[in-house]
């Protein structure tokens, strides 16, 4: 008898010491459950990514868990859950017998309360002492919590996969839907997984066993009268569709941008474990269009032009919200640096994509779409003895600068409208000179371009792509054009909530900043949306830029060495920009211009995206009537044909003509090239034009 008493006492002491470091009821209640941060699209229906410290988990109330899921879990794990004291003696004895006879722990006989205790507070080691501690803690939990509370804790705690913890994470991870939308068949399948999350993985090699266990659960639910015969048969025949095992991330380049923003603002640890709920600006439909356009377009470019990559950004110009972002052809193609985000990180030469802003700067100074400059061979390295005014295209002196047009021909006198719409190089360089490099850079900074800061580095080649820009910033600059000169700061995030539902930040639709007078922006928009004006440039590609009933402006750009091809197109409600090229900066073949490499990608996206919005038209500019004939397009006034520098002072184009045009460093070169063209193409030029003025009463110098 004494021996029995001593044995019981020793067992009691042993149990007491095993329970010393177990959590109290208060500690259980106060336990902070690690939750992953969820990043959603703008509708909050599509989960893009979960940021976690290894465990993806979203805690939800029991009311958001369908009854099917509760019943299926209880049927397979602990069918006497609502009647048991937190443990099952028969199960424990059965497991003890098997474990003793086999010499190691093979069965657990655990109830839901025991499994909760093990998963939440204990280590997963298979030992007798851990089983005893588990039993003690399960009894403690069962005494102080209602059954529904225990079930809710359990369904939010247990693993359903290597990184999926809790039923909400499992439902999103496997079926792409919240747990409250699970069907009976899906709930039964999820309930089959916790017995062996790796073994019963839907992506593993034991799916046959997984579905057999699901069918057993459904049968047992029917036997327990939790479902009727009709529900049982329907669930058995339901075809389950799992999300592709796509590394758990959608719109990866966009999501990484959001993650970096969150970490910078809230800190790494809080983002990984704090259970933030982030609603982004991403439009999942537009993102799908963008990814498809980039993938197919880059594949085509690789075959035709040796251009293996592309990127696309779409923005709502009315708010600055980024609606779609594809940073490369394939984020997961590590060998091709697919994870590099060209859209936000890549510095690329914009080619002619900066031209609209040079013309805009010129319009601000008094020039008009009708103003005429001469598209003729011109040497812009002024007063350099190595670079004579008469252009010699065989002269490869690096200090000389006499660009050619893409078409390799010259058109003589052209107005600003035609020059911009058809992206003619020589007039663009002249327009930049007239507007002033410093003024253009200042304007671009107001438009959101942060990478062009040193005028000495670029010179007049800036307007042909002499600097480098980021696609996302260039799209933002075009968004200012789309909104009549109003700028809205870029944003990727609409709302951030913590795990308790408290709003940490939310997007507010505030008025933007007017960075330029709308009149001058409307002049640019009127040109870039003029289909007939751009037809001379695009030829057979013109149909790719026309959308019936929609007013669409477009500008392309190609760097001189064909490393970068661009297409920037916009409406008052949507801006989309495309870059095409190679991540390693190797050039494409010469045929890989913006028209052939970038426009098809832009069109593929825009043709699907634009129909989601009702048509809107650009506001038209007010008519202007400058006094100077050259500014309104009359370049032969008074029988005189000269460079525009004969008539305007760069510092004050609307003021008096320069007293000494030759004082301008560019005058000799421009004038020489204009007169050479006139003598070559105007019959009897020397006899009919530029004769001495006879009387100021009959003719005023323009």
Task: Catalogue the active-site residues.
Answer: 77, 352
Largest CA distance in the chain: 142
Locate tokens 């609409």: which residue?
494
- Find how far residue 579's CA is from the centre of its chain: 13
With beta carbons less than 8 A apart as the criterion, state whether 665 and 433 touch: no
3-class DSSP state of 579? strand
**213 Cβ contact partners less than 8 Å away, ≥ 6 residues apart:** 76, 192, 195, 200
Locate tokens 């006989």: which residue?
109
Helices 67-77, 147-157: axis angle to 10 degrees equals: 90
Which tokens go with 10? 């020793």
Distance CA 648, CA 671 (A): 13
Helices within 284-404 (DSSP H only): 284-305, 355-364
Distance CA 603, CA 307 (A): 18
* Cα radius of gyration rounded to whole Å, the chain: 36
CA–CA distance from 95 to each of 139, 175, 470 (Å)?
Answer: 18, 35, 64
CA–CA distance from 433 to each of 382, 436, 439, 440 (Å)?
Answer: 12, 5, 10, 10
Which residues are 556's β-sheet partners?
567
Q: Which residue pairs from 561-564 have beta carbons closer than 8 angstroms and sit at least 24 positions apart in sequence?
A: 561/587, 562/587, 562/588, 562/589, 562/590, 562/592, 562/593, 563/348, 563/349, 563/587, 563/588, 564/348, 564/349, 564/350, 564/351, 564/465
With beta carbons less than 8 A apart as the criterion, state whether 648 and 628 touch: yes
Distance CA 171, CA 243 (A): 10
Which tokens go with 413? 């006198």
Locate tokens 């999300």: which residue?
243
Order of all β-strands in the sheet with 564-570: 321-326, 309-316, 575-581, 564-570, 553-558
Distance CA 92, CA 652 (A): 95
Distance CA 330, CA 221 (A): 45
DSSP secondary structure, 431-464, as one string: HHHHH-HHHHHHHHHHTT--S---HHHHGGGGGG
- The residue length of the chain stands at 702
Distance CA 331, CA 205 (A): 27
With beta carbons less than 8 A apart as the criterion, state whether 430 and 644 touch: yes
* DSSP run (H or E) holding 313: strand 309-316
DSSP category for residue 556? E
Distance CA 89, CA 110 (A): 10
Closest Cα to residue 466, out of 347, 368, 549, 624?
Answer: 347
With beta carbons less than 8 A apart as the criterion, state whether 281 and 313 touch: no
Helices within 32-146 (DSSP H only): 67-77, 89-102, 112-121, 128-144
With beta carbons less than 8 A apart as the criterion, state whether 393 and 430 touch: no
């Amino acid at each position: 008898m004494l021996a029995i008493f001593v044995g019981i006492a020793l067992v009691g002491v042993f149990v007491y010491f095993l329970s010393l470091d177990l959590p109290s009821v208060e500690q259980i209640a106060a336990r902070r459950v690690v939750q992953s941060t969820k990043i959603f699209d703008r509708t909050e229906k599509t989960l893009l990514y979960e940021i976690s410290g290894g465990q993806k988990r979203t805690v939800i109330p029991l009311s958001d868990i369908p009854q099917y899921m509760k019943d299926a879990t209880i049927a397979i794990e602990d069918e006497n859950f609502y009647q048991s004291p937190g443990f099952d003696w028969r199960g424990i004895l059965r497991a003890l017998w098997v474990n003793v006879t086999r010499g190691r722990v093979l069965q657990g006989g655990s109830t839901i309360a025991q499994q909760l205790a093990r998963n939440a507070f204990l280590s997963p080691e298979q030992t007798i002492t851990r089983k005893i501690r588990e039993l003690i803690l399960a009894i403690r939990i069962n005494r102080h919590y209602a059954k529904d509370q225990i079930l809710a804790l359990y369904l939010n705690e247990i693993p359903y996969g290597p990184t999926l913890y809790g039923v909400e994470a499992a439902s999103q991870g496997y079926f792409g839907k919240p747990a409250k939308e699970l069907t009976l068949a899906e709930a039964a399948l999820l309930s089959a997984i916790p017995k062996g999350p790796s073994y019963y993985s839907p992506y593993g090699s034991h799916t046959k066993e997984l579905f057999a266990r699901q069918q057993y659960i459904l049968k047992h639910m029917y036997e327990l009268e939790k479902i009727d015969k009709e529900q049982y048969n329907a669930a058995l025949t339901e075809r389950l569709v799992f999300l592709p095992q796509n590394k758990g991330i959608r719109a990866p380049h966009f999501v990484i941008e959001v993650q970096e923003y969150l970490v910078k603002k809230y800190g790494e640890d809080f983002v990984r474990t704090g259970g933030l709920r982030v609603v982004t600006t991403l439009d999942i439909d537009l993102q799908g269009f963008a990814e498809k356009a980039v993938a197919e377009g880059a594949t085509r470019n690789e075959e035709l032009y040796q251009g293996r990559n592309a990127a696309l950004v779409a923005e709502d110009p009315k708010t600055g919200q980024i609606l779609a972002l594809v940073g490369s052809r394939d984020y997961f193609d590590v060998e091709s640096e697919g994870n590099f985000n060209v859209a936000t990180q890549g510095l690329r030469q914009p080619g002619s994509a900066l031209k609209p802003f040079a013309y805009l700067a010129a319009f601000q100074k008094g020039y008009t779409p009708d103003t005429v400059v001469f598209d003729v061979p011109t040497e812009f390295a002024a007063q350099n003895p190595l670079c004579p005014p008469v252009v010699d295209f065989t002269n490869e002196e690096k200090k000389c600068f006499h660009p050619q047009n893409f078409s390799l021909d010259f058109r003589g006198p052209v107005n600003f409208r035609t020059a911009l719409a058809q992206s003619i190089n020589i007039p663009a360089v002249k327009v930049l000179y007239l507007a002033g490099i410093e003024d253009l850079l200042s304007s671009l900074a107001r438009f959101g371009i942060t990478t062009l800061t040193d005028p000495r580095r670029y010179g007049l080649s800036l307007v042909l792509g002499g600097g480098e820009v980021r696609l996302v910033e260039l799209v933002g600059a075009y968004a200012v054009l789309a909104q009549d000169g109003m700028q809205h700061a870029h944003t990727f995030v609409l709302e951030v909530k913590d795990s308790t539902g408290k709003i940490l930040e939310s997007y507010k639709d505030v008025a933007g900043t007017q960075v330029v007078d709308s009149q001058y922006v409307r002049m640019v928009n009127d040109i870039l949306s003029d289909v007939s004006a751009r037809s001379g440039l695009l030829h057979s590609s013109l149909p790719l830029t026309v959308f019936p009933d929609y007013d669409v402006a477009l500008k392309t750009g190609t760097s001189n060495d064909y490393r970068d091809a661009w297409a920037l197109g916009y409406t008052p409600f949507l801006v989309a920009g495309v870059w095409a090229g190679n991540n390693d900066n190797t050039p494409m073949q010469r045929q890989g211009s913006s028209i052939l490499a970038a426009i098809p990608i832009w069109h593929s996206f825009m043709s699907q995206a634009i129909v989601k919005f009702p048509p809107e038209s650009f506001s038209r500019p007010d008519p202007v009537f400058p006094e100077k004939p050259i500014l309104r397009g009359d370049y032969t006034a008074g029988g005189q044909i000269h460079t525009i520098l004969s008539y305007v002072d760069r510092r004050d184009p609307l003021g008096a003509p320069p007293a000494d045009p030759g004082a301008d460093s560019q005058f000799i070169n421009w004038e020489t090239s204009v007169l050479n063209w006139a003598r070559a193409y105007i019959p009897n030029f020397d006899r009919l034009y530029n004769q001495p003025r006879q009387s100021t009463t009959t003719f005023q110098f323009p």
